[in-house]
Structure 1
């Protein structure tokens, strides 16, 4: 969350590092209420190089429209994960060759708020803001993640979607409720029992409705995955799986293990209202009389589980490890 500008300013000011909800540009009032120049380390480094070399020297690298160099972080299916500095306009294929990376099923550009490119598009794309835009992607923070071919790409995307759903500050409905719905829909699709249309419907519920860019960036990541991995999705729906394991090719931060939680019911109180199944349809089954049975629930769903407990009309639910 501290990657969001307002959250960063609040953290520096000694407040909770969460998005403030109300848009307020740091250039107007930031740290200690003063106008604050807020950018990333690479931008400040580029300004220093420009000041030292001058406009002409700086423009020796890059293109006429985008002079200078770009830092790229290449990981995932690359044999040599690295941060590389390249001139703007370099072919993306050259970058992948430098890092011993094969596109495999696709290449993610722009990070987890970016877009997937299919192998053919990635082979023709150039590393620049304009080049990525023409290819249907975004340069973003310069994250390049080739999927390779040894891991299930749909499972990898579902894994990241679950992570993104857990990274909400919980301040608006599209993040707090919508992103878990999107993650569940994509996870079900990876299991071979969902549908791309269900994922798209869930995504439409969060696009352009959030208090920050997190829902829109997540939507871009997932919708592009549906397009690029269409053949893999068909295989999952026909056979239940593509036959490849999910190897964790897409990097995620190391996190403390979260034990699964579960819902238990006090049968002396339960009256079979079925509201818990409405709130957690993937994890609660109702019998013919409307009484629930529960499946283990991942730790990142704890907020939704507690919400179901709080809304039970009979106060019959509780959470246990």
Structure 2
């Protein structure tokens, strides 16, 4: 059983910062208990309406334990059923994107007789999201409080907080665990950041010391998660919301927001925003009010829900409200709360092509829809951008063809993102088909990770060993075919990222040890 520990520590660190970016302000900044842990610049926050998760952050860059207790108090200990009933009262849903009812997940883990684990998903693989980083960096004890509350309720033996290794959040939450003196109960797991690293199965594999990619078959964390134990897996914001709910109670928690979706939600607003920030808003807030607060220009449209979300046209965005229901009625999905206004200076289709190519490269290459379908979808969209009407029909077929057929939801999300661009930007599509361009450059408004100079990978053959077994062509049909004599011929000069796993398997299985992998920049 995990117990809550209260220790008297240091005070909050005041701040002010230029252009909405927070940082230390004068002598008070030296009060930070671990200045090397918290960088000068941290994710800025804004509030529209009452602040819950971000309460107090307008005056400080990071809350230590004492400041957290002063601001939020201590969540009362609760039984598993009492906590589930409380979550049911406000219909609390997971904030990682899938919006799964938290109480249902909690009860599923409670029913297991084995040892249990609580897993906090703070691995933001989405380049356009920073709310998890904000929570871990600026108010880590709120996340820890919610995780400990859940752990006590279900009798979990350990809490694991998974975040990007070496990132701001990793350092901050590690310091918070040390500050509480609960390192024997709470483990901070640093994982490699990729787009798919936050997918549930991929996250569990990373925490278990395996390659951080989906397992290829559906494995529910409540059945077999961390170390093979029943695991309560939810997003960092979900646990922070849980702590606030338990402290306030259902009635006070529901004082803000809509009757159907009470409370607040965290949004990461970027793109064309001149004052990008993580914004806490009451559900039901008009989307245009959020954009105005961040000095954002809608332009051609707004991406909602991230790179597995959907584009909203400017007209749809103008009437949308911030809630699962409100965004769905506008034609999108709230997902993990990512809001990217496009502005009017960049090419919408060009921006979508950039991300489609990135998503194709982020595939783990485990199934045909990812390995073959996503690169084809990205290529067809690029051809549409260049003016090919034939490619437009081909794109619709290819994007529809990957849906529902993957080993995880990556193909479905990518398809939704690409197809939504066709609906949101019909005038821009028409310009490209007529003229091969809309006349605007691609400014890179949608954020992507910096390109790494990874060495190129090639397949080679040691011809003194090759006996023409042909197994390589069976194992890697996208890379190798056989000539008229049954010997391998490579169809590509280099091995794309999504095919590298396939290439390694072919090399490992070559009976003559003739197939090799060569690297070179």
The number of residue pairs the alignment matches comes to 289
Cα distance in 2 for residues equivalent to 1:295 and 1:20: 28
The alignment status of 1:209 with 2:401, answered yes or no, reads no
TM-score under structure 2 length normalisation? 0.51
- Counterpart pick for 1:184 among 352, 355, 379: 379
Long gaps (5+) in structure 1: 264-278, 281-293
CA shift digits 1:100-124 (9 cap, x unpaired): 1111111010000001111111000
Cα distance in 2 for residues equivalent to 1:305 and 1:18: 15
Q: Is the 8 A contact 1:189 1:196 kept in 2?
A: yes
How far is 1:306 from its partner?
Answer: 7.1
- Counterpart pick for 2:298 among 103, 111, 115: 103
Q: Is the 8 A contact 1:258 1:299 kept in 2?
A: no
- Counterpart pick for 2:448 among 252, 259, 264: 252
Q: Is the 8 A contact 1:260 1:296 kept in 2?
A: no
- Counterpart pick for 2:318 among 95, 118, 123: 123
The alignment status of 1:223 with 2:451, answered yes or no, reads no
Q: Is the 8 A contact 2:303 2:310 kept in 1?
A: yes
SS at structure 2 position matched to 1:192 = coil
The alignment status of 1:94 with 2:289, answered yes or no, reads yes
The alignment status of 1:147 with 2:342, answered yes or no, reads yes
RMSD across aligned positions (CA): 3.0
- Counterpart pick for 1:84 among 275, 279, 284: 279
Give the aligned partner of residue 230 of structure 2: 35
How far is 1:259 from its partner?
Answer: 7.9
How far is 1:257 from its partner?
Answer: 3.8
Cα distance in 2 for residues equivalent to 1:48 and 1:225: 38
SS at structure 2 position matched to 1:127 = coil
How far is 1:133 from its partner?
Answer: 1.1
How far is 1:136 from its partner?
Answer: 1.1
Cα distance in 1 for residues equivalent to 2:519 and 2:259: 60
Cα distance in 1 for residues equivalent to 2:501 and 2:399: 18
SS at structure 2 position matched to 1:126 = coil
SS at structure 2 position matched to 1:161 = helix
Cα distance in 2 for residues equivalent to 1:185 and 1:2: 27
CA shift digits 1:32-89 (9 cap, x unpaired): 1211111110000000000110011101111111011000000111111110000000
CA shift digits 1:197-248 (9 cap, x unpaired): 1111111221110111100000110110011111111111111111111110
Cα distance in 1 for residues equivalent to 2:225 and 2:501: 34
Q: Is the 8 A contact 1:107 1:147 kept in 2?
A: yes
Structure 1 outlier segments of 4+, above 4 Å? 258-263, 294-307, 318-321
SS at structure 1 position matched to 2:398 = helix
Cα distance in 2 for residues equivalent to 1:97 and 1:257: 38
Give the aligned partner of residue 138 of structure 1: 333
Cα distance in 1 for residues equivalent to 2:380 and 2:497: 15
Note the 1:162-311 alignment, pairs <5 A. 162-194=357-389, 195-257=391-453
Q: Is the 8 A contact 1:61 1:88 kept in 2?
A: yes
Cα distance in 2 for residues equivalent to 1:173 and 1:213: 13
Cα distance in 1 for residues equivalent to 2:494 and 2:392: 23
Cα gap change, 1:305 to 1:36, in 2 (>3 Å): closer
Cα distance in 1 for residues equivalent to 2:502 and 2:408: 25
Q: Is the 8 A contact 1:61 1:68 kept in 2?
A: yes
How far is 1:320 from its partner?
Answer: 7.9
Give the aligned partner of residue 45 of structure 1: 240
Q: Is the 8 A contact 1:259 1:299 kept in 2?
A: no
Cα distance in 2 for residues equivalent to 1:298 and 1:104: 39
Cα distance in 1 for residues equivalent to 2:338 and 2:495: 28
SS at structure 1 position matched to 2:237 = helix
Give the aligned partner of residue 284 of structure 1: none
Cα gap change, 1:17 to 1:300, in 2 (>3 Å): closer
The alignment status of 1:71 with 2:266, answered yes or no, reads yes
Q: Is the 8 A contact 2:364 2:498 kept in 1?
A: no
Cα distance in 1 for residues equivalent to 2:337 and 2:403: 23
Cα gap change, 1:239 to 1:258, in 2 (>3 Å): farther
The alignment status of 1:12 with 2:207, answered yes or no, reads yes
Q: Is the 8 A contact 2:201 2:213 kept in 1?
A: yes
